Amino acid sequence: MLFRSVSQSRYPSNQGFINHCYEQALADYALVSFRDYADYMVPRLPGGLNRIGDYVRVSVKDMRTTRALMDSRYQTFESILKMFWAEPNARTNLTKWQCFAYASFDGRLIVDDDEGLPMLVFRRMPFKELIFALD
């Protein structure tokens, strides 16, 4: 709370989303979709197109799946959140916090049909793996 009282930044954080998951009493092994994440984050971010491509270049190294988005100079914050969600090498990917891992079933990532993005699984105890099998 001290940080919020002295910081000029009003942007949401991944820690805020994690706190939200705990406050909502999310069950262990609950699936979390990008839409769950975006519904928390996007209303707290500026709307419209923003020049944030340079920030992405600095924030993400060795990106495999996000080259097209990186080339766009102006983007919405939601498109940036999608990029970070799908890219495990992003420093801001939720799997960097050990209460999240990518969810798999029968050897394949579980993908949200609406967004086409991988689903995460939530657990209060830390995951040791990047991908957790729900089989």
Residue 38 lies in a domain: yes
| Domain span holding position 102 | 13-133
Of the listed ranges 18-27, 60-69, 108-117, the least confidently predicted one is 60-69
Residue 1 lies in a domain: no
Residue 78 lies in a domain: yes
Residue 3 lies in a domain: no
Residue 120 lies in a domain: yes
pLDDT tens column, 77-112: 898 899 889 888 888 899 999 999 999 999 999 998
Task: Render 49-96 in DSSP notation, one character per residue.
Answer: -EE-HHHHHHHB-S-SS-HHHHH-SEE-HHHHHHHHHH-TTBTT-GGG
Residue 128 lies in a domain: yes
Residue 2 lies in a domain: no
Q: How many residues does the chain have?
A: 135
What's the domain count of the chain?
1
pLDDT tens column, 31-46: 999 999 999 999 999 8
Please tell me the predicted confidence (pLDDT) of residue 104: 97
